[in-house]
Amino acid sequence: MTYTPLGFGITCIDAEYVEHGTACLYLMQEGDECAVLETGTCHSVPALEQLLLHRGIGVEQVRYVIPTHVHLDHAGGAGAMMAVFPAAQLLIHPRGARHMVDPERLIAGATQVYGADLFRQLYGDIQPINALRIRQMEDGEKVSLAGRQLEFRHTRGHAEHHFCVWDEVSRGWFSGDMFGVSYSWCRFPGGDFVMPSTTPSQFDPEAYLASIELLGSYAPQRLYLTHYGELEYSHEKAQLLAQQIDMYSKFATVDASDEALLSQQLSDYAMDLVRQLGACGDEVELRTRLAFDLQLNAQGLCVWQKRLLGN
Distance, CA of 199 to chain centre: 11
- The tens digit of pLDDT for each residue in 137-157 reads 999 999 999 999 999 999 999
pTM of the model: 0.95
* pLDDT value for 196: 97
AA identity, residue 181: V
The C-alpha atoms of residue 75 and residue 107 are separated, in whole angstroms, by 12
The C-alpha atoms of residue 2 and residue 97 are separated, in whole angstroms, by 30
Stretches where the chain sits below pLDDT 50 are: none
The C-alpha atoms of residue 233 and residue 301 are separated, in whole angstroms, by 26
Domains of the chain: 1-92+95-136 (3.60.15.10), 150-311 (3.60.15.10)
Q: Is 210 helix (H, G, I), strand (E, B) or coil?
A: helix
Q: What sign has the CA pseudo-torsion 252, 22, 101, 125?
A: positive
> What number of H helices and E strands is found in the chain?
10, 15
What contacts 300, CB < 8 A, 6 or more positions away?
A: 198, 199, 200, 201, 203
* pLDDT value for 197: 96
The C-alpha atoms of residue 37 and residue 71 are separated, in whole angstroms, by 14
What contacts 283, CB < 8 A, 6 or more positions away?
A: 271
Contact, 123 vs 41, CB < 8 A?
yes
What contacts 134, CB < 8 A, 6 or more positions away?
A: 89, 90, 92, 97, 100, 101
